[in-house]
């Protein structure tokens, strides 16, 4: 069966520090991968999605970047965090066919101080 791992679960980082959040998927090949951010009490904002290795689409210009070095690995990064980067970050994957539902990781709660 397919599983998705996202870590760390919580993170407190100072302003100006770098960020690296990792997400890996097991049990499937060539998934679509997504990074979402959710501000407190708000909906999910799509940040990046990827349909293949090295292919990244950015939805919102911002202080963050994403990379997909391997088929089932998706990384969210920042060189210098801002206070406004605080939020709940969710990684998700979906197949390219079938019911097309997305499966989510457990999320990372990032607090920039």
- Degrees to nearest 5, angle at CA 81 with 77 and 90: 50
What residues pair up with 67 in beta bridges, in sequence order? Answer: 75
Stretch that binds another protein, among 12-20, 37-45, 65-73, 76-84 (CB under 8 A): 37-45
Look up tokens 């999910």; give the residue.
44
Angle at 25 between CA 44 and CA 83, to 5 degrees: 40
- Indicate which single residue of 2, 3, 84, 106 sits in contact with another protein (rule: CB under 8 A): 106
Q: How far is the CB of 47 from another protein (least distance, A)?
A: 11
Strand order in the sheet with 65-70: 3-7, 19-26, 73-78, 65-70
Strands 44-52 and 108-112, by their bridges, are: unpaired
Is residue 21 a contact residue for another protein (CB under 8 A)? no
Stretch that binds another protein, among 11-19, 20-28, 29-37, 79-87 (CB under 8 A): 29-37
Looking at 57, 63, 70, 77, which residue binds another protein (CB under 8 A)?
A: 57
58 sits near another protein (criterion: CB under 8 A): no
Q: What is the DSSP letter of 59?
A: S
Binding site for another protein (CB under 8 A): 32, 34, 36, 42-44, 46, 49, 51, 57, 59, 88, 90, 92, 94, 96, 99-104, 106-107, 109
């Amino acid at each position: 069966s397919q599983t998705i791992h996202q870590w760390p679960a919580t993170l407190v980082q100072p302003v100006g520090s770098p960020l690296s959040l990792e997400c890996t998927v097991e049990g499937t090949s060539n998934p679509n991968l997504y990074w979402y951010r959710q501000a407190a009490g708000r909906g999910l904002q799509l940040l990046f999605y990827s349909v293949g290795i090295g292919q990244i689409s950015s939805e919102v210009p911002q202080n963050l970047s994403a990379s997909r070095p391997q088929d089932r690995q998706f990384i969210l990064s920042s060189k210098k965090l801002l206070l406004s980067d605080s939020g709940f970050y969710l990684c998700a994957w979906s197949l390219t066919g079938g019911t097309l539902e997305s499966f989510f990781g457990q999320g990372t709660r990032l607090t920039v101080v």
